[in-house]
Structure 1
Amino acid sequence: MICQAMHTRELFVDAARKCLSTGRKHLSVPHSLDVAAQLSAVDSALKPALLYDANSASAEQVHRYLRSCQSSQLVSDSLVTLDLHGNTLIVNPVAIRSNLERILHNSGPAMIDISHSLEKPTIIEPVRTGLKSIAQDLLFLLRDLNAAKDVDKVICVAVGSDEWNLSAVFGLLLGYPAVYWFDQTESFENCLAMTPLTVTTASATWFAGASSHQLYSFSIPAVLQNETLSSLVEWKLGLQERFQQQNILKELTVCQSAVTLPSVCL
Structure 2
Amino acid sequence: MALENWRSMFRECLGGRCGQYCEEVVPLLAAVDQGIKPSLLWDVCTADTSGLLALLNQARSKGLLMSKLVLVELGLDVFIANVAAVTRTLVGISTAAPTWLIDISGSVPKLASSENHQEFRTHLASIVAQLNAATDDNVTGSGVASTSPAQNGDADDSNSSSSQAPESSWEIKALEIKLPEDLNLSTIFGCMLGYPNIYWWQGESGGNSLSGMPLKVFKLTADCSVDGSSVELFSFSVPEALEGELRPGIEHWGNVTNVRIEQAASFSNARFRCDSVLCLSVAL
Common fold by TM > 0.5: yes
Match of 1:121 in 2: 109
Aligned to 1:136: 125
CA spacing shift, 1:26–1:129, aligned 2, 3 Å: closer
Cα shift readout 1:211-250 (whole Å, capped 9, x = no counterpart): 3121111111111101111220111011111111112112
Q: How many residues are paired up?
A: 252
CA distance in 1, matches of 2:111, 2:191: 16
Aligned residue identity for 1:264: V
Q: Show the 5 A alignment for 1:3-14.
A: 7-14=1-8
State the alpha-carbon separation in 2 of the partners of residues 109 and 81 from structure 1.
29
Deviation track 1:88-130 (CA, whole Å, cap 9, x = no partner) reads 1100111111121123324476110011xx1211112425222
| 1:234-245 matches, cutoff 5 A | 234-245=252-263
Contact 1:20 1:61 in 2 (8 A): yes
The C-alpha deviation readout for 1:181-214, integer Å capped at 9, x for no partner, is 011x444243101101111111122228833121
Tell me the distance in 2 between the aligned counterparts of 1:107 and 1:74: 37
TM-aligned CA deviation for residue 26 of structure 1: 4.2
Match of 1:89 in 2: 79
Asked if residue 164 in structure 1 is aligned to residue 183 in structure 2, the reply is yes
| TM-score normalised by structure 1 residue count | 0.87
CA shift digits 1:158-177 (9 cap, x unpaired): x3342221111011111101
Matches within 5 A, 1:42-61: 42-61=32-51
Amino acid at match of 2:128: L
Shift in Å, 1:63: 2.1
Conserved? CA contact 1:200–1:217, under 8 Å: yes
Distance of aligned partners of 1:89 and 1:238 in 2 relative to their CA distance in 1, 3 Å threshold: same
Partner of 1:181: 200
Q: List runs of 5+ in structure 2 lacking aligned partners.
A: 138-168
Change (3 A) 1:210 1:103: closer
Higher relative contact order (CA 8 A, sep 6+): 2
Q: Give the root-mean-square deviation of aligned CA atoms.
A: 2.0
Distance in 1 between the 2:232 and 2:117 partners? 30
Q: Is the contact between residue 40 and residue 81 of structure 2 (CA under 8 Å) also seen in structure 1?
A: yes
Superposed CA deviations along residues 12-43 of structure 1, whole A, max 9, x for unmatched, are 1111111222xx52421xx2022110011011
Out of 75, 84, 92, which is 1:102 matched to? 92
Instruction: Say whether the 8 Å CA contact 1:100–1:108 is kept in structure 2.
Output: no
| 1:192 to 2:210 alignment | yes
Pick aligned residue for 2:136 from 139, 143, 147: 147
Question: Once structures 1 and 2 are overlaid, which stretch shifts more, 61-70 or 103-112?
Answer: 103-112
